Amino acid sequence: MHPILADPRRLLWYELAWLAAGVGIAALLRLTGQAEWSGALEFALPICLVWSFVAVSSYYVCRSLPWSQRRWPVALGLFGGVSLLAALGWLGLGEAWDSLGGLLLRGKPFVALSSPGWVMYFAAGFALYLLSLLAHDVLVAFESVQAAARREAESRVLARDAELQMLRTQINPHFLFNSLNSISALTGFDPAAAREMTVDLAQFFRRTLALAERERITLGEEVALCGHFLAIEKRRFGAKLQADLQVSAEAAACLLPPMTLQPLLENAIKHGIRQVDGGGTIAVDARVADGMLHIAVVNPVAADDAPPNAHGVGLRNIRERLAVLYGPRARIVWQRSPAQFAIEIHLPVDKESGA
Amino acid sequence: MTSSPRLRALIVDDEDLARRLIREYLQGHDDIEIAGECDNGLDAVKQIGALSPDLVFLDIQMPRLTGLEVLELTGRRAGVIFTTAYDEHAIKAFELHAVDYLLKPFSKARFDDALARARTLHAPAAPAAGAGLDALVARRTAPLERILIRDREQVHVVPIDQVECIEAQGDYLAIHAEGKCHLKPQRISEIEEQLDATRFLRVHRSFIISLAHLQAIERPGPDRHAARLRSGKRVPISRSGYEKLRTLV
Of B86, B105, B157, the CB nearest to A174: B86
Provide the 10 A C-beta neighbour count for residue B100. 16
- A189 to B24: CB separation less than 8 angstroms, yes or no: yes
Residue B1 covered by a domain: no
- A178 to B21: CB separation less than 8 angstroms, yes or no: no
Sort out which chain A residues have CB atoms less than 8 A from B85's CB and list them: 173-174, 177-178, 181
**pLDDT value, residue A112:** 78
**Residue A234 touches partner B, C-beta closer than 8 Å:** no
Which CATH number goes with the domain that contains B13? 3.40.50.2300
Sort out which chain A residues have CB atoms less than 8 A from B63's CB and list them: 274-276, 302, 305
Whether the per-residue pLDDT at B220 is higher than 90: the answer is no
Name the pLDDT band for B1 (thresholds 50, 70, 90). Answer: very low
Of A178, A188, A302, the CB nearest to B15: A178
Q: Distance (Å, rounded) from C-alpha A86 to C-alpha B28?
A: 99
Chain B segment 76-95 residues within 8 A of A by beta carbon are 85-86
Q: Distance (Å, rounded) from C-alpha A142 to C-alpha A185?
A: 67
Whether the per-residue pLDDT at B91 is higher than 90: the answer is no
Domain match, B192 and B216 both: yes
Residue B193 covered by a domain: yes
pLDDT digits (tens, 9 = 90+) for B157-209: 888 888 999 999 988 999 999 888 999 988 898 888 888 888 899 999 999 99
User: What range does the domain containing B157 cover?
Assistant: 146-248
**pLDDT value, residue A316:** 78
Domain match, B175 and B95 both: no
Domain match, B204 and B81 both: no
Sort out which chain A residues have CB atoms less than 8 A from B103's CB and list them: 177
Domain match, B117 and B153 both: no
Domain match, B126 and B193 both: no
Q: Distance (Å, rounded) from C-alpha A45 to C-alpha A19?
A: 6
Sort out which chain A residues have CB atoms less than 8 A from B21's CB and list them: 181, 184-185, 188
Residue B130 covered by a domain: yes
**pLDDT value, residue A168:** 53
Q: Distance (Å, rounded) from C-alpha B238 to C-alpha B242?
A: 6
More confident residue, B122 or B23: B23
- Of the residues B122, B138, B154, the one at which a domain ends: B138
Cβ-contact B203, B235 below 8 angstroms: yes
Domain match, B39 and B152 both: no
- Architecture (CATH level 2) of domain A171-348: 2-Layer Sandwich (3.30)
**Residue B161 touches partner A, C-beta closer than 8 Å:** no
Give the distance from residue B92's alpha carbon to the nearest chain A alpha carbon, in angstroms: 16
Domain match, B132 and B164 both: no
Sort out which chain A residues have CB atoms less than 8 A from B14's CB and list them: 274
Q: Which residues of chain A have pLDDT under 50?
A: 354-355
Domain match, B17 and B71 both: yes
DSSP state of A3: T
Which CATH number goes with the domain that contains B171? 2.40.50.1020
Q: Distance (Å, rounded) from C-alpha B79 to C-alpha B77?
A: 7
**Residue B108 touches partner A, C-beta closer than 8 Å:** no
- Of the residues B86, B119, B138, the one at which a domain ends: B138
**Residue A72 touches partner B, C-beta closer than 8 Å:** no
User: What's the whole-number mean pLDDT along residues B99-103?
Assistant: 87
**Residue B153 touches partner A, C-beta closer than 8 Å:** no
Q: How many domains does chain B have?
A: 2
Identify from A174, A177, A184, A304 which residue to disrupt to test chain B contact, counting B C-beta atoms within 10 A and taking the largest count.
Answer: A184
What 3 state SS string does chain B have? CCCCCCEEEEEECCCHHHHHHHHHHHCCCCCEEEEEEECCHHHHHHHHHHHCCCEEEEECCCCCCCHHHHHHHHCCCCCEEEEECCCHHHHHHHHHCCCCEEECCCCHHHHHHHHHHHHHHHCCCCCCCHHHHHHHHHCCCCCCCEEEEEECCEEEEEEHHHEEEEEEECCEEEEEECCEEEEEECCHHHHHHHCCCCCEEEEECCEEEEHHHEEEEEEEECCEEEEEECCCCEEEECHHHHHHHHHHC
Strand partners, A348: A292
Q: Distance (Å, rounded) from C-alpha B85 to C-alpha B59?
A: 9
The chain B residue lying nearest A181, using CA atoms, is B105
Indicate the SS3 state at residue A256. strand
**pLDDT value, residue A355:** 43
- B103 to A177: CB separation less than 8 angstroms, yes or no: yes
All structural domains of chain A with their residue ranges: 8-165, 171-348
DSSP state of A97: I
Domain match, B18 and B118 both: yes
Domain match, B107 and B185 both: no
**pLDDT value, residue B123:** 63
Residue B133 covered by a domain: yes
Identify from B14, B15, B17, B42 which residue to disrupt to test chain A contact, counting A C-beta atoms within 10 A and taking the largest count.
Answer: B17
Domain match, B14 and B124 both: yes
- B64 to A275: CB separation less than 8 angstroms, yes or no: yes
- Of the residues B103, B138, B173, the one at which a domain ends: B138
Residue B2 covered by a domain: no
Name the pLDDT band for B247 (thresholds 50, 70, 90). Answer: confident
Domain match, B62 and B154 both: no
- A185 to B17: CB separation less than 8 angstroms, yes or no: yes
Residue B51 covered by a domain: yes
Of B15, B16, B63, the CB nearest to A275: B63
**pLDDT value, residue B66:** 86
Least confident residue range of A314-323, B28-37, B116-125, B211-220: B116-125
**Residue A140 touches partner B, C-beta closer than 8 Å:** no
